[in-house]
């Protein structure tokens, strides 16, 4: 098992990528600190892990709040003794996020608070814990739109994910010689509740799908497998990377026939 004896803190663990990653990491031997605002589904993920013989704990966490992030890391250390992997995965994509004219300041601020500040706060409190553990891996969820403009305008989301890439690179450089690796996971368009709520018409879905060479939306479990690579020693010489898992969308120049 690739994460035997490790403890992973995973934000946004109640659904989507976070849920699938929590289940996969647990199956690979990790202790899981599942963090989310959604207590019901978050607890359900923990109960599923425990029922399968794993070790997990849920902590209700608003990643935009420093006190919550500090408590999240403390709970992981108290429950499992150390933190070796931090997956800053929690994020939002608001349906009222559009172009510069359409997007309100409130939506901009909310998106930045969760998607960008949330990653900063996770690292702020998580890095000292990983250092205490002797090193480990941080994975920050970005997006393909951080390097490729979105066909459907979502300016606040796109800008927040661009910030995640920039922050990840700098943290990777700063902490490389402390045995702390920091990488970005950049999913392409996924068949998750988050994106399907945003692409709420068939026309919006097709506008996105036509640009994906593979011709389909990705799956949350595919992102979990990519996160496992970044979390494990399989990626021991990988840091500061923008790991694109996107069905080829960022490589496409013309729409495939």
- Among all residues, which ones are annotated catalytic? 157
Q: In angstroms, what CA-CA distances link 119 with 35, 69, 196?
A: 13, 10, 23
Instruction: Quote the CA–CA distance of 241 and 238 in Å, as a whole number.
Output: 7
For 68, phi and psi rounded to 5 degrees?
A: -65, -45
Tokens found for residue 50: 């425990």
Tokens found for residue 92: 């939002």
* DSSP sequence for 187-199: E-SB-SHHHHHHS
Give the E-state strand segments of 61-212 in sequence order: 85-88, 136-141, 180-187
Spell 152-163 as b/e; 16+ CB within 10 A means b: ebbbbbbbbbbb
Instruction: Quote the CA–CA distance of 111 and 10 in Å, as a whole number.
Output: 19
Instruction: Quote the CA–CA distance of 254 and 257 in Å, as a whole number.
Output: 9
Instruction: Quote the CA–CA distance of 79 and 243 in Å, as a whole number.
Output: 31
State the first-to-last Cα distance of the chain, in angstroms, to the nearest integer: 42
């Amino acid at each position: 098992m690739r994460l035997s004896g490790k403890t992973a803190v995973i934000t946004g663990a109640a659904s989507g990528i976070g849920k699938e990653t929590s289940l996969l990491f647990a199956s690979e031997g990790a202790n899981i600190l599942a963090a989310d605002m959604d207590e019901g589904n978050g607890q359900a993920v923990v109960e599923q892990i425990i029922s399968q013989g794993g070790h997990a704990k849920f902590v209700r966490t608003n990643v935009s709040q420093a006190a919550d992030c500090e408590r999240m890391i403390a709970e992981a250390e108290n429950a499992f003794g150390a933190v070796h992997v931090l997956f800053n995965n929690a994020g939002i994509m608001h349906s009222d996020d559009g172009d510069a004219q359409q997007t309100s300041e409130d939506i901009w601020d909310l998106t930045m608070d969760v998607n960008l500040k949330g990653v900063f706060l996770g690292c702020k409190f998580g890095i000292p814990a990983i250092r205490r553990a002797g090193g480990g891996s941080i994975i920050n969820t970005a997006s393909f739109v951080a390097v490729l403009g979105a066909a459907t305008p979502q300016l606040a989301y796109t800008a927040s994910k661009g910030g995640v890439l920039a922050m990840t690179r700098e943290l990777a450089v700063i902490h490389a010689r402390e045995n702390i690796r920091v990488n970005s996971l950049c999913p392409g368009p996924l068949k998750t509740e988050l994106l399907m709520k945003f692409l709420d018409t068939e026309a919006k879905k097709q506008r996105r799908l036509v640009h994906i060479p593979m011709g389909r939306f990705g799956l949350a479990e595919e992102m979990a497998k990519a996160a496992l690579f970044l979390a494990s020693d399989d990626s021991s010489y990988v840091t500061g990377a923008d790991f694109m898992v996107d069905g080829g969308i960022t490589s496409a120049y013309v729409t495939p026939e």
